[in-house]
Amino acid sequence: MTDVWAVVTNAPRGGVRYDHVSVEPPDDADLILKPLYTGICGTDRGIVSGSLPFSYNPRGYNFLVLGHESVCTVVESKNERFVKGDIVVPVVRRPGGCVNCRIGRPDNCSDGDKHEAGITGLHGFMRTEFAEKSEFVVPVKNRTIGRLAVLTEPLKNVVKAFEVFEIISKRSVYHKQDSTLTGKTCCVIGTGAEAFLYGLVAKSLGFNVILTNRHPVTDYKTKMLESFDLEFINYSEDFDRSFSSGIDLLIDTSGDPGTILKFTKRLNYNGIAILFGTNGRAKPSTITGIDIDYIVERNITLAGSVDAAKVHYYRALDYLEEWSFTIPEIGNMITGEYDPNNVKIFTQKGPGEIKSIIRWGNAP
């Protein structure tokens, strides 16, 4: 048993405390990791508030260590591919025995028999130290990324979602007459961290990108949108005119059915909607035969997309490295750094928050 300080909850009941706990290291762990930074997202807060009933403690524990977004340093290694001091990102989801899990794609698990660190039956990364199997970590080769690497986890979801998009777009000739996506519109519902990351990747593929929300955004975000070359529309003011030329790729980070339907009906022929956000408490909406007809007659596809595989973590790190040079303002996405014992960040957002992170011990 390893004794550590950790941010813990009691899933699915909720609550949060920074506490001294004992955790059994996994069999055949060959690395000891110390977190440098861990990110906080809606899922963490959902668990803490007790509103995610699918969350549960690891077997044999009456608590769950939180944290699935992290960047760590190796403090001990029994594996030849890693040495002390290496920077790594541990992966969240761990495979079961289904056909997808057995080829490294637990993100596409066919039977639900998988675990997610810090969420479902597996302790997370918000602890002073933990043992890990090297097959479940991704190396951060370029140390200059620094704390940006804490965005790997949210960004890997975006990378996987675009893999889904690429597959689905094969239904038809999706690109323009010149083979590119130039002139096609991607609309991202939401203005949180994931929305910004979706926007950046869509931009890099050639889309004209619009982030949208029902409220105006802060000056801080406005400035960041500018530095990212992304457009913003407050759709409660300007829906009809703004989306008059249609949407080719819709990405939802809100989980709100009414908003999703509203924008789905702006999709062009062969349009694709990626459903990523979840919000079990969203206000119900009405869906009509006209809505279904719209989807059918235009060959529209709506695709749920969750989690990502190791290959997407690698690609996410590539993006972060690239953006650290080409969009240095990317660092502004991290809007607040907190101490591990400052657990009230789990119950209220930081001011002007895009991404709040916890800084652990000797983070560089």
Residues 27-86 that bind a second copy (CB under 8 A): 54
231 binds a second copy (CB under 8 A): no
Instruction: Identify the sign of the CA torsion 355, 202, 303, 121.
Output: negative
**For a second copy, which residue of 218, 222, 285, 342 counts as binding (CB under 8 A)?**
285
19 binds a second copy (CB under 8 A): no
CA distances from 213 to 55, 220, 345, 356 (A): 29, 15, 24, 20
CA dist 38 and 359 (Å) reads 7
Q: Of the candidates 182, 189, 329, which has an alpha carbon nearest to the alpha carbon of residue 261?
A: 189
Decide the pairing of beta strands 355-359 and 334-338: parallel
**For a second copy, which residue of 29, 41, 233, 306 counts as binding (CB under 8 A)?**
306
177 binds a second copy (CB under 8 A): yes
**For a second copy, which residue of 71, 72, 126, 168 counts as binding (CB under 8 A)?**
168
Smallest separation (angstroms) from a second copy to the CB of 55: 12
Which residue, 218 or 285, has its beta carbon nearer to a second copy?
A: 285
**For a second copy, which residue of 59, 241, 281, 344 counts as binding (CB under 8 A)?**
281
CA dist 113 and 7 (Å) reads 25
Structure tokens, 311: 């290959």
206 binds a second copy (CB under 8 A): yes
Residue 267, Cβ density class (10 Å: 0-12 exposed, 13-18 middle, ≥19 buried) = buried
Q: Interface mask (CB under 8 A) for a second copy, residues 95-124, using x and -?
A: ----xx-xxxx-xxxxxx------------
Q: Which span sits near a second copy by CB under 8 A: 15-23, 233-241, 279-287, 332-340?
A: 279-287
Q: For the CA atoms of 116, 260, 357, 152, what is the dihedral angle to 10 degrees?
A: 60
Smallest separation (angstroms) from a second copy to the CB of 165: 10
Smallest separation (angstroms) from a second copy to the CB of 29: 16
268 binds a second copy (CB under 8 A): yes
Q: Which span sits near a second copy by CB under 8 A: 26-34, 148-156, 164-172, 336-344?
A: 164-172
**What is the length of the chain?**
364
Alpha-helical segments (H) within 12-116: 42-48
